[in-house]
């Protein structure tokens, strides 16, 4: 499996697998950038937020970019469409930065730019 495929598989797990996946694949600290929050959060705090959050379904992840500028750092970028339990739709452009820790890749940056539902590309 290519590194790009591996990172997108890890990323999909954040949408599908919940708190245990966050504990495994988030770095000790992660810089988060959302419209309503920006700052550094610890792995345990992020996993706790995922534990309490409603789950996602109808996940449509459309890869847009991959950059591997150094052996220890990589970035992925994608458009996401998903539905929260309860029916609320979510659309965003997402970027996640990964650092290599031993044999594993960990998310150290995660940002989302929310899109209006009608602004979504025709591929989603």
Task: Kindly list the domain boundaries of the chain, sorted by start residue.
Answer: 3-119
Residues written for the chain: 124
Cα–Cα distances (Å) from 21 to 69, 109, 120, 122, in that order, read: 25, 16, 27, 30
Position 85 scores a pLDDT of: 86
Fold of the 3-119 domain: Nuclear Transport Factor 2; Chain: A, (3.10.450)
Q: Is the per-residue pLDDT at 123 higher than 60?
A: no
Which regions of 16-118 does DSSP assign to beta strands (E)?
Answer: 26-34, 37-42, 56-70, 73-84, 89-101, 104-114
Per-residue pLDDT tens digits for 48-99:
988 888 789 999 999 999 999 999 999 999 999 999 888 889 999 999 999 9
With cut-offs at 50, 70 and 90, classify the pLDDT of residue 120: very low
With cut-offs at 50, 70 and 90, classify the pLDDT of residue 118: low
């Amino acid at each position: 499996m290519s590194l790009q495929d591996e990172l997108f598989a890890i990323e999909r797990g954040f949408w599908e697998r919940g708190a245990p996946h966050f504990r495994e694949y988030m770095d000790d600290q992660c810089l988060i950038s959302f419209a309503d929050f920006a700052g550094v959060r610890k792995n345990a705090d992020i996993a706790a937020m995922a534990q309490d959050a409603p789950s996602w379904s109808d996940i449509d992840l459309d890869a847009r970019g991959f950059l591997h500028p150094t052996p220890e750092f990589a970035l992925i970028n994608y458009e996401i469409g998903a539905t929260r339990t309860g029916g609320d739709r979510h659309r965003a452009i997402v970027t996640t930065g990964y650092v290599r820790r031993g044999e594993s890749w960990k998310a150290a940056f995660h940002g989302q730019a929310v899109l209006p539902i009608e602004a979504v590309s025709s591929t989603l």
